[in-house]
Structure 1
Amino acid sequence: MIKNKLLKINKKLIVTTILILFLSLSLIVQTINAEPQLDKPYLSIEDLSNSIADIAEKNSPAVVNIDTVRMVETQNPFLDDPIFGHFFGDQFKEYTRTIPQKGTGSGFIINQEGYIITNEHVVHKAEKIKVTLSDGREFTGEVIGSDTTSDMAIVKIKADHLPLVALGDSDKLRVGEIVVAIGNPYGLQQTVTMGVVSAKGRSIPTGIEGRVYKDFIQTDAAINPGNSGGPLLNTKGEVVGINTAIIPFAQGIGFAIPINIAKKNIDDLINLGKVRRSWLGVYIQEVTPEIAKQFNQAEAKGVLVGDVVKNSPAEGVGIKTGDIIKKVNNEEVNSPEELQDKIGNIEINKEVNVEIVRNGETISFIVKIGEMPTVEEEGSKTPKEKVFSVQTGLKVESVTTEIAKELGLPWVKGLVITEVVPGSSADDMGLQQGDIVLEANRTELSSVEEWEKVINKLEPEGTLLLLVFRNQHTYYVPIKVEKID
């Protein structure tokens, strides 16, 4: 009797277990076969393709082709030959020709008044500008304003019924976001490419000594010669950048100016023909541990003043070369970029408190911020060599009247670098032939003998702090003293 009851109970348990397993399996199968539950609607490849096509169709009419002609002077090619040039150069110098040089780029229309944004390098020194719209209409363009620092220019045409682009917010761009570039590479009109934002805040050299384009958007959307000045658009069809540069021989690396930077400059370019920038009037550099040690600073903080521009706001209040700027309006600055950003955000003619450290003493200045002037960069010539210093990897000689005249120096003082040993610390720090050394370890130099006195006091593996003059301003360079075997 008890056995029968137990058997009945076991049978019920078995049946119940089987039913539970069956129901569980059914639920699993249903879950696997069910459509995935997404927070956002599923976007097919076809939908994405149509979206990109819509962006191109909407914005391409506002993208223009810009053809330029600039006049360049050429000379007889035989003058480059050392033998011909030596014997006949003076006789043939007058046989130069001025020839037209053609260029091409892109731009985009921003309002019905006919204003077009493009790159400064697209229209640089152009004597003739032809703007061609997507509908085939051609107009003569006029440069209303340009700015080499941001590589921006505004070209104006006289036209009506113009298609326009919408300007977006580049600050909202995210790395990985899809972007579309439209332009006229190699003169091929209305070319559309797609990619993603590869990085933000990139800095790239301009090719001009000491000048760097900052805060660029990096993208792998194909940008080729002729694309310069064209728009970079987000998936809403808004312009988020101005296609500007490529790295030659690199694959999939292009750069664009963030449109938020451009928007700050548009009014100045249209109304003034240039961009007004706040200006303190100092050449600055990072305080490295080596520099901090030379200036008896406990920490590598602040920004070092390498040079002070004549007649600048900084010079007017008494800021000097060698001062370390610690604070601006009671806010710490610990990099050249931080100082530039803070000064750049202060209105021209407004007063600002600048706190510096000089010879261990903290000094505060009230500076009236000025407007940055336009400065042309100049190169250096290569002088002759004379004296060699094994420890530093440099050859130097005294600056004579002849050398000062040859290099275009405003004075006769210091030592000129005549050779930099390849692979030395001086080479690593970027010192070049033609640089003028004004100080070594805070000691002014006027002769090779004074230089050798400083060098002879150095310990192996120590640091030599040089004050160097190049391109009309000075800056500090710390180099490691090389051990002699």
Structure 2
Amino acid sequence: MDEMSMDENKEVNTTQENETRSFTENDSIWENAKKEPVEDIPEAQPFGFGETEEKKDFSEPKTKGSAEFFSEYVPPQPVYYEMPRSKNKALRILGIIAAALVIVMLFSLVGASLILPKPSFEIDEDQESPEFSSIPKASDMASEAPLISTLPQPTRKNNVTGQMPSFGGIAPEITNPYNPVIEIAAHNMEKVVSVQADVYKEENGREVLDARIKGTGFVVSADGYIITNYHVVAEGTHITVRFTDESEYIAEYVGGDETIDIALLKINAANLPVVALGDSDTVPVGEFAIAIGNPSGMGDELSNTLTVGYVSATGREIRFNGYKQEFLQIDTAINPGNSGGPVFNSEGEVIGIVTLKSLVSSYDEYGSAVDSEGVGFAIPINTALGALEEIFEHGAIRRPGIGIFYTFYDEETAELYEETAGMHVGEVTVGGPSEKAGLMVGDIIIRCDGMDIVTGEELVNLVKTKGIGSSIELVVLREGVEMTFIVEIVDLNK
């Protein structure tokens, strides 16, 4: 009897050991699988206005100087995927799991444009041609990757000179001022387009599709001019636009500006419906901010989604892509794919162009940025049109400057940190006018053209007012000694 009990106990113990070993082995396999890199799922990378292969830090280092006390912002961060590659089955299964997690996380990012893996070029050949005109469809493009020598390269040089065409159409007649959104939507849906830029890379001596960037644009002239964001099309080798009736056009890059983040496209079409353009200089706080865009990119069921909010602030200054610029602040919901889309007022006129999703309000315990919900930004339409007009007239936007980066200390801040009040030069552009004049890192600018530096804006405004080709007198402190320099104002874009 005792021997039988002992045998039973041995069997139970053996079973428990097997079960424990089984769980332990499974746990070990899972832990190893989690540690094994999954090459199929690339990291999301910032599009960076033309940069897709390396991350760029758009924010300047914070210092104790008051000039750096801007709220941090995040430029549009498109979702970036490389083309899928074949792997073994185990990795593919883990890749699918990881991809699902990545997709969920990416839709909480601040990006307003979307980059997806290569879909099929095939389009229903029975689809009717666009009623505007007969032009090549995307399906007419070779389904196989063309040779390198046949591909146009995205140099993104502005290809326009002369007078800018007349842009803008007629605003809708609003019959219900208490709820104008319905009429605004009905009047403008067909004037908003999906924008797609295909990015190719070299592989085995051929160009293959590497990524597909998606955003939004809107028609500003009946003969086919379309405005969108620069970062949506900056890297695109082939650009296409699609209307709500699914008609599709090959688009040509006409001109744009990386800093302001605007681009002008042209399609071969006629008699297109055109949005009305408003006056962003007169927009009041509390005005409607109605956005129409493609939150998940071209060809998806969510295309031409309308979201409604309000203008939270006007003339909001943010240091964006290296320059301080003014934006319309809106609380309208902005999603991946909205980049380049229009923002309408209560009259159905475009007052802005979606570009920034949100500010960073804080950082979590892992150092990841936490967005401020309900804080978005749009380029004022007057800013965009003024920039395009200058591009047509001069071939590019001219930016007067003297080639320095600085941190400003007012009297109070300087006393607090035991520094000297003024503009502390932190960087001098190599070969720039300030370097040629003799300025050095560490110099403290205290006067410009005989005017004391009080707020840090005096020098900036004076440079803008005097313009390219003029000179400015700077008095600086260098190791306690006052020195005077004459610096030429040049076009920083050259």
| TM-score normalized by the length of structure 1 | 0.55
Find the residue that maps to 2:180 and give its secondary structure.
helix
CA distance in 2 between partners of 1:372 and 1:323 (Å): 21
Query: Structure 1 residue aligned with 2:472, among 316, 337, 352?
Result: 352
C-alpha change, 1:343 and 1:72, in structure 2 (3 Å) is farther
C-alpha change, 1:308 and 1:251, in structure 2 (3 Å) is closer
Report the equivalent of 2:435. Answer: 315
Report the equivalent of 1:65. Answer: 194
C-alpha change, 1:366 and 1:128, in structure 2 (3 Å) is same
Residues 35-434 of structure 1 mapped to structure 2, 5 A cutoff? 47-48=176-177, 50-72=179-201, 99-187=209-297, 188-202=302-316, 211=322, 214-247=325-358, 250-270=372-392, 274-287=396-409, 297=420, 300=421, 302-336=422-456, 338-373=458-493
1:168/1:238 contact within 8 Å kept: yes
Find the residue that maps to 1:260 and give its secondary structure.
helix
TM-fit CA distance, 1:290: 6.9
TM-fit CA distance, 1:98: 5.3
CA distance in 1 between partners of 2:207 and 2:248 (Å): 30
C-alpha change, 1:330 and 1:258, in structure 2 (3 Å) is farther
2:397/2:493 contact within 8 Å kept: no
1:349/1:368 contact within 8 Å kept: yes
Find the residue that maps to 1:196 and give its secondary structure.
strand
C-alpha change, 1:213 and 1:360, in structure 2 (3 Å) is closer
CA distance in 2 between partners of 1:156 and 1:332 (Å): 48
TM-fit CA distance, 1:125: 0.7
Cα-to-partner distance string for 1:84-123 (whole Å, 9 max, x where unaligned): xxxxxxxxxx999954211211112223453222111111
Report the equivalent of 1:12. Answer: none
1:241/1:259 contact within 8 Å kept: yes
Is there any run of 5+ residues in structure 2 with no aligned partner, and where? 1-174, 359-369
TM-fit CA distance, 1:226: 1.3
Could you tell me the percent identity over the aligned residues?
A: 38
Larger relative contact order (Cα-Cα within 8 Å, sequence gap ≥ 6): 2
Cα-to-partner distance string for 1:130-156 (whole Å, 9 max, x where unaligned): 012345432211222232221222212
2:471/2:489 contact within 8 Å kept: yes
2:217/2:340 contact within 8 Å kept: yes
1:154/1:269 contact within 8 Å kept: no
The farther-off stretch of 182-191 and 124-133 is 182-191
Find the residue that maps to 2:398 and give its secondary structure.
coil
Cα-to-partner distance string for 1:424-454 (whole Å, 9 max, x where unaligned): xxxxxxxxxxxxxxxxxxxxxxxxxxxxxxx
C-alpha change, 1:345 and 1:70, in structure 2 (3 Å) is farther
C-alpha change, 1:189 and 1:150, in structure 2 (3 Å) is same
Aligned pair count reads 305
Report the equivalent of 1:387. Answer: none
Find the residue that maps to 2:271 and give its secondary structure.
coil
Residues 3-22 of structure 1 mapped to structure 2, 5 A cutoff? none
Q: Which has the larger radius of gyration?
A: 1
CA distance in 2 between partners of 1:97 and 1:156 (Å): 25
1:222/1:252 contact within 8 Å kept: yes
CA distance in 1 between partners of 2:206 and 2:427 (Å): 40
Find the residue that maps to 1:186 and give its secondary structure.
coil
Moved over 6 A (4+): 94-97, 292-296
1:196/1:219 contact within 8 Å kept: yes
Q: Which amino acid aligns with 1:234?
A: N
C-alpha change, 1:292 and 1:252, in structure 2 (3 Å) is closer
Find the residue that maps to 1:121 and give its secondary structure.
helix
1:144/1:269 contact within 8 Å kept: no
TM-fit CA distance, 1:285: 1.2
CA distance in 2 between partners of 1:333 and 1:72 (Å): 50
Report the equivalent of 2:143. Answer: none
TM-fit CA distance, 1:291: 5.6
Cα-to-partner distance string for 1:391-417 (whole Å, 9 max, x where unaligned): xxxxxxxxxxxxxxxxxxxxxxxxxxx
CA distance in 1 between partners of 2:449 and 2:461 (Å): 13
| TM-score normalized by the length of structure 2 | 0.54
2:198/2:209 contact within 8 Å kept: no
Q: CA RMSD in A?
A: 3.4
1:146/1:273 contact within 8 Å kept: no
The farther-off stretch of 194-203 and 358-367 is 358-367
Find the residue that maps to 2:253 and give its secondary structure.
strand
CA distance in 2 between partners of 1:164 and 1:327 (Å): 50
CA distance in 2 between partners of 1:160 and 1:329 (Å): 53
TM-fit CA distance, 1:163: 2.3
C-alpha change, 1:222 and 1:274, in structure 2 (3 Å) is same
More strand by share: 1
TM-fit CA distance, 1:199: 2.7
Q: Which amino acid aligns with 1:51?
A: P
1:194/1:221 contact within 8 Å kept: yes
CA distance in 2 between partners of 1:360 and 1:283 (Å): 20
C-alpha change, 1:136 and 1:95, in structure 2 (3 Å) is closer
1:285/1:335 contact within 8 Å kept: no
